[in-house]
């Protein structure tokens, strides 16, 4: 069996490499220490590449990779060194890892905020290095009661807001791309008037770097701020106009600034460093041991999913205009692709139709959901390269009917999607939802209520609902050295039960046959996501 080839172009945490090594369908090539010219010869045969900031995904890289490469995983948030339009032109999907370093960036933001208010680095230097004890020189300010303006209320900005509320601050969020309830539900005021942010005591920015946000805080905006404002930037360099920032700090209009990122890095000779009302750090937003571990693990998992055609989590060049969809939609797109892939493995037979239904706000995006579900379902077909562009065409060519249906709102779930895959033998239906915006959960399989994360090695064991079955299944799997990671059970009114068993390793055909031979077994199937 030919393996999927994943090239690791830059250094990542060892656990990420171990995940790639442990998958028997993956051929991992570690090329982080390889000359970048020599790397071009390696990636031409790769299905997926994992990169960081040391590898530029430019014309040379894309030309070497095109033809076979399905995806590039940028192990981190920033994609400044990735030519996304160039990748899109060649059908290469670009993914990043936007949440793995969330807590690291949040906590560094709070560090800079507290350091600015209490001038901590300067008092520390005064005593530690200069050996001067002068308490009266270092009167600071409290966070309590101060008004904090948060520009960008996504994964990082929202958590900064929540932590700032714990300091008893008055927090205001500005983010035109979120639903106001994301802020108001956590006790944060929401505004569409940018002037409200400029009136705050402290302002922190947490937006991506793009045409809309570069230099969004300039001389005009600073002039409108209150005297003595404190500015924080632990997001991306260039969001504040650095000349205007310098002038504001030097004049005293800006009392203090906490800066982790610069327009050009390394910034060892930046004139901001000459000022005595700035706390600085050398782009440390993601630099915790925990975040580097998380980044590597998520990047490896995403690379495996992409190589196998299961899903493309956090894809940045999706075949839809992301500016026209709210953030809550993307996790659903990823999830239905996984469900399509799962359904095709369980229901192994020629596909007749794929139907996607939706309840709640998500029903507005059924067309896109159907495309993603189709990509997942058709990924199981050998000899086909399936992507978001050709999925509908391949389905039509094979006589597969693609349907969508908007259903009444669910009494239980805010949003619910259902994928029904019909083959020439039977129909298989899975319903799923999202908890806390990004926690994927399968909640129903063919009428059996469950609570399952769509990931890992899954055994679906349907049986007559009689005593002793769970023990028999556990004993049999143990005898084959298969460790159970999770066990979820659903029951119906017909005296049947469905166990969804998540295990730590691949399951052999022999093991599945022995499970099927148990007296109570109605059916057993196996899938890997």
The residue length of the chain stands at: 529
3-state class of 74 per DSSP? strand
3-state class of 188 per DSSP? coil
What DSSP state is assigned to residue 433?
E
CA atoms 336, 339, 345, 346: torsion sign: negative
The residues facing 524 across adjacent strands are 461
Pick from 418, 378, 383, 379: nearest CA to 396:
378
State the chain's maximal CA–CA distance in angstroms: 83
Separation CA 132–CA 126 (nearest Å): 6
Separation CA 240–CA 258 (nearest Å): 12
3-state class of 190 per DSSP? strand
Q: State how far the alpha carbon of 54 is from the alpha carbons of 88, 436, 466, 472, in Å.
A: 21, 34, 58, 52
Pick from 36, 37, 33, 27: nearest CA to 12:
33
Separation CA 335–CA 345 (nearest Å): 16
Separation CA 378–CA 340 (nearest Å): 8
3-state class of 169 per DSSP? coil
Separation CA 394–CA 520 (nearest Å): 40
> Cβ(402)–Cβ(354) under 8 Å?
yes
Q: Is residue 356 packed enough to be buried (19+ CB in 10 Å), middle (13-18) or exposed (0-12)?
A: buried
What are the catalytic residues?
A: 236, 265, 283
CA 50 to mean position of chain CA atoms: 15
What DSSP state is assigned to residue 271?
G
């Amino acid at each position: 069996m030919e393996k999927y080839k994943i090239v690791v172009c830059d250094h990542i945490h060892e656990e990420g490499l171990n995940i790639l090594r442990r998958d028997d369908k993956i051929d991992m090539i570690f090329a982080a220490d390889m000359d970048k010219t020599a790397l071009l010869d390696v990636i031409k045969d790769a299905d997926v590449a994992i990169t960081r900031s040391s590898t530029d995904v430019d014309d040379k890289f894309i030309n070497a990779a095109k033809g076979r490469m399905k995806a590039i995983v940028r192990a981190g948030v920033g994609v400044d060194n990735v030519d996304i339009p160039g990748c899109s032109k060649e059908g290469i999907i670009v993914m990043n890892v936007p949440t793995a370093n969330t807590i690291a960036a949040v906590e560094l933001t709070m560090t800079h905020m507290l350091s600015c208010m209490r001038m901590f680095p300067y008092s520390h230097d005064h005593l530690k290095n200069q050996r001067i004890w002068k308490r009266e020189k270092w009167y600071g300010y409290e966070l309590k009661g101060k008004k904090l303006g948060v520009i960008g209320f996504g994964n990082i900005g929202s958590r900064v807001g929540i932590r700032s509320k714990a300091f008893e601050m008055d927090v205001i969020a500005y983010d035109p791309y979120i639903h106001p309830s994301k802020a108001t539900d956590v006790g944060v005021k929401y505004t569409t008037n940018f002037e409200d942010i400029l009136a705050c005591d402290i302002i922190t920015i947490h937006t991506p770097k793009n045409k809309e946000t570069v230099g969004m805080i300039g001389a005009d905006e600073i002039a409108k701020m209150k005297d003595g404002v404190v500015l924080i930037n632990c997001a991306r360099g260039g969001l504040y106009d650095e000349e205007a920032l310098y002038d504001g700090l030097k004049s005293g209009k800006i009392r203090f600034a906490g800066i982790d990122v610069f327009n050009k890095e390394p910034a060892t000779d930046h004139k901001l460093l000459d000022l005595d009302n700035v706390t600085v750090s050398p782009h440390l937003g993601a630099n915790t041991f925990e975040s580097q571990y998380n980044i590597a693990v998520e990047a490896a998992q995403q690379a495996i999913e992409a190589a196998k055609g299961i899903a493309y989590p956090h894809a940045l060049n999706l075949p839809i205009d992301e500016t026209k969809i709210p953030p809550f939609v993307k996790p659903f797109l990823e999830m239905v692709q996984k469900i399509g892939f799962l359904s095709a493995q369980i229901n192994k037979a020629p596909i007749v139709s794929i139907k996607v239904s939706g309840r709640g706000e998500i029903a507005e995006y059924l067309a896109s959901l159907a495309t993603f579900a189709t990509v997942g379902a058709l990924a199981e077909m050998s000899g086909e390269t399936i992507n978001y562009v050709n999925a509908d065409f391949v389905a039509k060519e094979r006589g597969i009917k693609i349907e969508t249906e908007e259903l009444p709102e669910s009494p239980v779930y805010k949003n619910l999607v259902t994928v029904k895959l019909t083959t020439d033998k039977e129909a298989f239906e899975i319903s799923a939802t999202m908890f806390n915006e990004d926690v994927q959960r399968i909640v129903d399989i063919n009428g059996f209520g469950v609570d399952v994360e769509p990931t890992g090695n899954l055994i679906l064991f349907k049986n007559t609902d009689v005593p002793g079955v769970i023990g028999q299944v556990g004993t049999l799997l143990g005898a084959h050295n298969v460790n159970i990671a999770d066990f979820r059970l659903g029951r119906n009114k017909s005296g049947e039960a469905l166990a969804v068993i998540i295990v730590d390793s691949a399951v052999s055909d022999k093991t599945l046959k022995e499970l099927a031979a148990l007296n109570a077994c109605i059916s057993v199937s196996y899938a890997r996501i």
